[in-house]
Amino acid sequence: TERSLVIVKPDGYRRGLTGEVLRRIEAKGYTLAALQVTEATREQLAEHYAEHEGKPFYEPLVEFMSSGPIVVAVIEGNDCIKGFRSLAGATNPTEAAPGSIRGDLGRDWGLKVQQNIVHGSDSTESAEREIGIWFPNL
Ligand code: GTP
Ligand code: MG
């Protein structure tokens, strides 16, 4: 079994899609190991998005991620890192396949409009690193 860090981003929370995202996670057979509604601090976002520092979309991304409440979850299940990224779909909602969270529910995309509803860890290393940022007691 494996753990992944999932975030319902401010656009997803604002649009009332938290339940829909969690429903898809549970329907897939993954379990929720931790779940929290929170507002991200600059420190947490700087750590979380360290790999993107210096890129043109970094500042708008951090700005967007601090624009309202988010829901942070640790999910558990066989191959759930890859599995959740497949549930989420491609980063750009316009390109995300129908059937995926971003493909079915995602809309705008642009340099300052990186609203794509969810985040999911991309490797076991990032999952453990990210879980440490958002759930230091896990
Ligand atoms: P996450 O699960 O959120 O990490 O998405 P990802 O792994 O599919 O994408 P990546 O880690 O490469 O980028 C993190 C986030 O930065 C994305 O989800 C977008 O919100 C934003 N982002 C990435 N690339 C771009 C880009 O080219 N333009 C803009 N505007 N935003 C981007
Ligand atoms: Mg990523």
- Told to judge if 119 belongs to the known catalytic residues of this protein, a careful annotator would answer yes
Cα–Cα dist 78/114, whole Å: 29
Which protein residue has the closest C-alpha to ligand 1 atom 2? 119
pTM of the model: 0.95
* CATH code given to domain 2-134: 3.30.70.141
Distance (Å) from CA 124 to ligand 1 centroid: 18
b/e burial code for range 46-63 (CB count within 10 A of at least 16 → b): eebbeeeeeeeebeebbe
Distance (Å) from CA 90 to ligand 2 centroid: 11
The pLDDT score that the predictor gives to residue 92 is: 92
Q: What is the ipTM of this complex?
A: 0.91
Q: Which residues of the chain have pLDDT under 70?
A: 111-113
What residues does ligand 1 touch, defined as CB less than 6 Å away? Answer: 57, 61, 91, 111, 114, 116, 119-120, 122
